[in-house]
Structure 1
């Protein structure tokens, strides 16, 4: 149980971040194909050039939270593997 939960917690946050980043990059691509300049702060296509910021700077709480969940998932997997290994040793 702990091993499966840890696996989900380990992988799911990274997949969620990749999907969210991909959706944003799709909007950027659509905007640039129309000849505009994408404004990351307002998430709108415009004509005025503004300084670009990284995804992490704009969504630091989300990224940090997802990475924390991923680390907790890795710990849960490790504990699950230890418990499973100890249970198998006790049977033999």
Structure 2
């Protein structure tokens, strides 16, 4: 149980962060292809040039929480492996 739960906790935050980042990059690409400048703070396309702010600076708490969940998943996987013990596959 710990191994499966840990695997989910380890992988799911990365999938969530990559999905959210990809959606934002899609909006950025659409905006720049239409000749505009993407406003990262408000999430809209504008005519005036906007400063580029990293995803981490805008979503610090979300990124840190997702990484904390991933670390917890790592420990859960290790705990699950320790509980299962060393075993050889049966032939």
Q: Give the TM-score normalised by structure 2.
A: 0.93
Shift of 1:14: 0.3
Residue correspondence of structure 1 range 1-92 to structure 2 within 5 A? 1-85=1-85
Relative to its length, the structure with more helix (as a share) is 1
The runs of 4+ residues in structure 1 deviating greater than 2 Å are none
SS in 2 for 1:70: helix
Shift of 1:84: 0.4
Shift of 1:51: 1.3
RMSD: 1.0
SS in 2 for 1:45: strand
Provide the aligned length of Structure 1 versus Structure 2: 87
State the distance in 1 between where 2:9 and 2:58 align.
23
State the distance in 2 between where 1:9 and 1:58 align.
23
Shift of 1:50: 1.9
Q: Give the TM-score normalised by structure 1.
A: 0.92
State the distance in 1 between where 2:5 and 2:57 align.
30
> What are the Cα deviations for residues 7-64 of structure 1, in whole angstroms up to 9, with x where unaligned?
0000000010000000000000000111000000000000111211100000000000
